[in-house]
Amino acid sequence: MRLPDEPDRPPQINIVPMIDVIFAILVYFIVSSLFLTRSEGLPVNLPQAETVELQRSAQITVSLDSEGILTVGDDVTKLDRLKAKVENLMETEQTKVVVINADKVVDHGQVVDVLDRLRQIPEASLAIAARKNE
């Protein structure tokens, strides 16, 4: 009930609840986009396999390209430094999965050398990347 002496208040739009809703939607999309990350690594021509499984956990990627260049993540490294570099990454990134991306034309001996070095790390779980047959 309005008294006759009261001045009319102009209509207002309260934007605080709208800002809260927009902020909640923004947070939802940011958090959900964190789960859309893909495996990192250098472009290699992976061999195909029927039993390929998608790895969803955090991982360290070791790549051997067609020229035999060895990289851990995006950093080029040498075979004798591979074990120490992966161990350091396992400590800092709190992950135990190491994925090997080896081009299908790489010499089998090089892949075995990399596997041998990585198997010397006690906590490491090894996986070999492959493309699913189409």
pLDDT in tens, 25-58: 999 988 888 777 554 544 556 666 677 666 566 7
Asked if pLDDT for residue 81 goes beyond 70, the answer is yes
Return the H-helix or E-strand segment holding 125.
Answer: strand 125-128
Domains of the chain, residue spans: 48-132
Beta strands in 65-124 (DSSP E): 70-72, 75-76, 97-102
What is the value of pTM for the model shown? Answer: 0.57
Q: Tell me yes or no: is domain 48-132 CATH 3.30.420.270.
A: yes
**Buried b / exposed e across 25-37, counting CB within 10 Å, b at 16+?**
eeeeeeeeeeeee
Asked if pLDDT for residue 72 goes beyond 80, the answer is yes
Asked if pLDDT for residue 107 goes beyond 90, the answer is no
